[in-house]
Structure 1
Amino acid sequence: MSKIIKIALITAAVSAAFMLVFMQNIQKTEKVVIVEKDIPAGTVISEDAVKVVDVPASAVKPNYARSLSNVVGKVVKEGRVRGDFIPVEILTSKDSQPLGPDHAVMTVSVTSVEAKTLQSGDTVSFIVFDQTGSKVLDGFKVISVVKEDSDKASLILNADLNSAAELVPYLKLNSFKVVRR
């Protein structure tokens, strides 16, 4: 084999190795909402206070807001500073009432189909299932509906402590169905 062909083959092999290493180091990214300017607790989020950016998927938690429609017009219960991500559980609607001492805010993951007809202010019930049958848990008030992607959504709910505590085991087992009342 001529010397030029050997050099060309070696160069091609080295280039392929570099390309393989480069492709393995490319990270997947996801879109998330970050704070553009400081937002004090209790403030309604305006469109100029936030923006959507791509960040490495490894830095994104499932509860982070993914689109401006998830946050604009909502009130933050906790202050945020420039560059912060916005967890959906710190958001509430402008017209929601403060929680009493016997109430809790909880986040429930649902399908986007289940969330499609729900909105802030609705009251929902949960039909829960176990080996003994099913029962209905009532009185959960929807604070916010957050669409995470085309398949998943989260409901931010206001519930009395007893109802919330009764629902939690069924959430862990994913043995529930949400219904609008």
Structure 2
Amino acid sequence: MTTQREIAEQLGLPVHPPKVEVFDLVANTNTDPKGHVRTVTHFRHQPFGLYLARPTPGHPTIAALESWLLPALGLRITRWYYHPGHEKDVDFYLDVVDIEPGEHRWRTVDHYLDVVVRDRRAAQVLDIDEFVVAVQAKLLDPETAERAMRRACETVEGLARHRYDLAKWLRDNGIELSWHGQLTEDPALRE
């Protein structure tokens, strides 16, 4: 399978095309943007979104992840679990995405912009430079680019209004997320 980087290089682009991921609820897999199929240990569907937990085998710094796909907000909210010595001062990582829910399969298309949240302390938009290059390279049409930028701005504004308390902001949007809690073992291996 051709990777996003290979596609960008073939097209002579300084940035990869939008990253696409597939979440197969029947096969319990997550196909990442590079085409690698990863086993998902836990999917949970709620009216507002889809939860998943999986290990990240072979990753040098990240042991596992938990994510929520939230179509109404156009966000994928992730908690990373790092290998000892690789921890980062980030509580949540929010990808700005389009989400296509389905009964057996969900799909996301990443729109470059990300928001890192240091819970109850700060939020910061990342990858604006990559977003601008992608727009200039026409990898995002104007409508999609505007939607992505609006989502990122509304997210940061909402978080700021709630003093960067992600759970409180989400509750005000009718969303109550549940996580496995503080890491005592790989969350993707627990039920």
**TM-score of the pair, normalised by structure 1:** 0.26
If each structure's helix is expressed as a fraction of its own residues, which one has the higher value? 1
**TM-score of the pair, normalised by structure 2:** 0.25
